[in-house]
Amino acid sequence: MKKADNFDASKWLVENKITFQSRLNENKIQGVDVNVDDDMITLSGDSGDYDGFVEDNGTVSFSVTNDEEDFNDQNWKDILGDDHVFVKVANAIPTKVEALGDYVMITVKASDLTGVNESRLDENNNQKPNFSSDAKTNFPELVKKYGAKVVDALENSYENFIDMYSSPVKVNIKYKKSIENYKNNPKDLEDLIQMAVN
């Protein structure tokens, strides 16, 4: 393939906003704030805050109840109104809706809310975390003491999450949370390393 003489890749990237942050921004839903804490996702907007937990299959569900209403699959959007978080989400991304009686529940892929593309996290696409970088950045003292064993411990931790959860999104969330936990309690990681050594 011949490169065009006047092609400037950096200009093209800037003009097309091909950056991780811009992709995240494109995935934002107008009027809905999405916050991730471990495996809990909170949707916030004018209608309130709604919490849901990421399931092993990578989906997350949110629900609302109102004893004074009689919801069904045809009227729930009209009853909740255009400014409701659930309506905004359903209008923006693929959403499974269960509306019956006094409650409405929406179910979506966590990756659609968080901007994390599951295929990019998939082991088959070689997008695992950079364990070496994570070790050097977050645990320099342990790296000095144990060297590559720190990297091995982080990779084993990640592999354990793969065994426990079928969703790459949930694996990624759990791994990032484990890094934070180990930063707060480095002795836990050191114990893990020492168990592997013995």
Q: Cα angle vertex 157, ends 59, 194, to 5°?
A: 160
Half-sphere exposure of 53 (CA within 13 A, CB side): 3
What pTM was estimated for this model as a whole? 0.56
DSSP-assigned letter for residue 124: G
The neighbour count for residue 102, using CB atoms within 10 Å, is 12
Each residue's pLDDT tens digit, 21-51:
333 334 478 889 888 877 788 999 999 999 9
Two structure tokens written together for 51: 């919490």
pLDDT value at 150 more than 80: yes
Domain ranges of the chain: 27-114, 118-197
pLDDT range class, residue 15, cuts 50, 70, 90: very low
Nearest to 99 by CA among 87, 82, 114: 87
CA-CA distances (angstroms) from residue 69 to 53, 81, 86, 183?
A: 26, 13, 16, 48
